[in-house]
Structures are given as C-alpha cells and as structure tokens.
Amino acid sequence: MIKTLDIAAVRADFPILHQEVNGKPLVYFDNGATTQKPQVVIDAMAAYYNKTNANVHRGVHTLSQLATDQFEASRETVRAHINAASTKEIIFTKGTTESINLVAQCFDGFVEKGDNIIISAIEHHSNIVPWQMLAARTGAELRIITANNAGELEMDVFDEILDSRTKMVAVNHISNALGTLNPVEEFIAKAHKFGAAVFIDGAQSVPHMHINVQDLDADFFAFSAHKVYGPTGVGVLYGKESWLNKLPPYQFGGEMIKEVTLQKSTWADLPHKFEAGTPHIEGVVGLKPALDYINKIGVEDIAAYEHELLEYGTEKLLQIDGLRIIGTAAKKASLISFVVDGTHPYDIGMILDKLGVAVRTGHHCAQPVMARFDIPGTVRASFSFYNTKEEIDILVAGVERAVKMLR
C-alpha cells in the first residue's frame, strides 16, 4: 500500500536544503546530476573518520577489523537492495563510468572482427565511448538502436540489428537527458536468445525504482552512490558470477592478488579480483545508510510521489508559451528536459540560479540525443522525493520571468 510521504520530515533530514542561494531559498532540481545527502549519511562518514579509520582486509588489529566489517556490511546491503544472488557479484568502483569501462576493457577476449556491439542513440557518453573503443580495438561493428520523436527506443530497429554475431548490448535503464524508461527486460530477453551479454546503465533508475537484477536477468548492471543519496566517488558494478569469473582483472596491485612471485601472479577470488588498491572506504561505508534510508521510506512510495511531481511539473511547464518538452515517452522518470523558443538553455539556467533555482543546462553528456532533436541543449529539471509542488511553482515562475527577459 502506497503511503503519503511526510515531505517536511524528509526535508528536515537533508541539511543542505535549508539555505539561501543568491538571497533566495534554495530550490534544488539537479538531482539527475547528483542527489543531496541525508544527515545519517554525513554522520556515518564522519563517524568512520572519528572512530574507525583504518585500511580494510589487511590488518589483524581491531580498527582494521571494524573498518572491514563496515565495508563488507555495505556490500551486503547493496546485494540485498538489488537482489543479487551473492556478494561475490557486487564490485565497488568509483562510479557508473568506471563500472562500464571495467567491463568494456575486459571484454576484448570475447569480441573479434566481424562481431557487433549494440548501444542506443540516447545513451550518456559514458555508455557510448567505452564501447566505441572496444569496437575500434577488436574490429567489431558498433550498431545503434534509434529513437522516435518521443525519445523512445525503436524495438523494431533492435530486432533488425540483433543477430548471432552480437556480443554485447549496452543500454541505459533510464535516459539521463530525456527521462525515458526503457523496456530493458525485453532487450535482455531478446539479446540472450542470440547469446549476447547485456549491460544495463542503472545510474538514473536506482534512485527512482525498485531493482531486482535476478528478475531483470541482466549480465551486468551499474549505478553510482552519489545519485542515490550516498557519497561521490563510489560506484557499484553488479555482474553475474559466471561472467565475472570469466573476465580478466581490470587493474593490478594490492588486494586483487592471491599470490605474487617475481615470476608470476595469481588473482584473488571474487569480488576482490576487481578491487585493486585501497578503496574509497568511507564512501562505501556511507552508501549503506543511504540505501537504508530510502528503504525505510519505501522505494515504491518514493516512486509514486516523484511521479506526482513529474505530472504536476509537466502540466505547469507546458502552460508557458513556446516551451517544448524534449522527451515525451509514455514511461518516464521524474525528469523534464525542455527548450523555449527564442531563448538559449544556458541563459535560462543563469537567470534561474539568480532566483535560487538549481537546474542543469546543456547537452547533459548526451550530445547524440541533442543531435537527434536538432537542438544545442536543454534545461533539465530533475526531481527527488524531497522536492515539492511549491518548488515547481517557483521554477515555473522563474522560467516565465527568464523568457520575458530574454525575448
């Protein structure tokens, strides 16, 4: 049963929201870039440095053991949050970008000349460039799933380009530039019929919806802690144990080895095979309370409330003369990208900032998306469950004011 969120109580948990920017109350609508942190996350990271600071996995002394326990408790929390089968399938990285690069760099031995790799036309640069480089190194062909005018991927095109030589399909779960919720279950099922592996970029989906990687049946799934109310510099790569065992290590050094001699080395078991060097310990420690926090509130309740914000924001913004929403998929996350005739997104963003409203402007690291819609960029307002309809009213009034100034 969906419950009504106590938004005032939620907002009280986020200290950064209670300030002024340029003399105006902060309205933070840049959640697609990074989310703000609840006090429990800030406290957990401070407590680590105040009481526990030590390197993990390497010491017999008490602090090292305590730090290791906290680090591995976060791994278990992540495993449970996305319903992975084992903590062996949870690799800590520095973000979604590194998670994608890890798999792309390690995949050379599974791709050869004449094979193909499939991505979509609405990917973040981080889910384009690593696969371009893999194709260039191996002589494989990079194939593209096109998008329609609503920003929805065209399944008939995917059916045409998918074949027995497809080795990897890499698509986002939710577009960071358009908000489109992609039918990844269908992509995965179809790709697996041809023996292709599937990588899902979940950076934008984990903050907004329940994820069950076993139900999805994706081979790889990645997300970033900072987009789900945790610290920056921490990412998660989920990989099926069978795939992670086959892939070679991504980096070499301490922790990821089993035995080293001057002649040869052998690798540690999962998940440590892919975690060379001292990790971002306090960041991993901070991820656990972030996930615990949203689970306490309820992911389904968060999703329902954010959908309300999406519908309300869409209705109000479309009342502005000349405003056009870019990305009108039937299924969307709580993100609105828009342009206004006769204005530039950057100029609108600058004026909104003077009014205390934080939005993202530009191409959002998705230049092919902007080329698809023949625009230089958009204004992107991305909502969280700590936002309110009253804040959306402030955004709308700010855009109206900006348009009057710029035309």
Catalytic machinery residues: 365
In degrees, to the nearest 5, what angle opens at C-alpha 293 toward C-alphas 51 and 36? Answer: 85
Q: Which amino acid is at 365?
A: C
Is the torsion defined by CA of 351, 356, 357, 358 positive or negative? positive
- Both tokens of 150, joined, read 């609503």
- Phi/psi-derived region of residue 356, left when phi > 0, alpha when psi is between -120 and 50, beta in every other case: left
Q: Which residues pair with 223 in a beta bridge?
A: 236
CA-closest candidate to residue 188, choices 168, 211, 210, 209: 168
User: What element of type H or E holds 266?
Assistant: strand 265-267
Q: Is 263 helix (H, G, I), strand (E, B) or coil?
A: coil
Composition of the chain by helix, strand, coil, percent to 5: 45, 20, 40
Alpha-carbon Rg for the chain in angstroms: 22
- Both tokens of 226, joined, read 């900072």
Question: What distance in Å separates the CA atoms of residue 195 and residue 197, rounded to the nearest whole number?
Answer: 7
Residues 6+ apart with CB under 8 A from 56: 64, 67, 68, 71, 278, 279, 281
Burial zone of 149 (CB within 10 Å; 0-12 exposed, 13-18 middle, 19+ buried): exposed
Burial zone of 192 (CB within 10 Å; 0-12 exposed, 13-18 middle, 19+ buried): middle
389 close to 59: Cβ distance less than 8 angstroms = no
* CB neighbours of residue 371 within 10 Å: 12
13 close to 38: Cβ distance less than 8 angstroms = yes
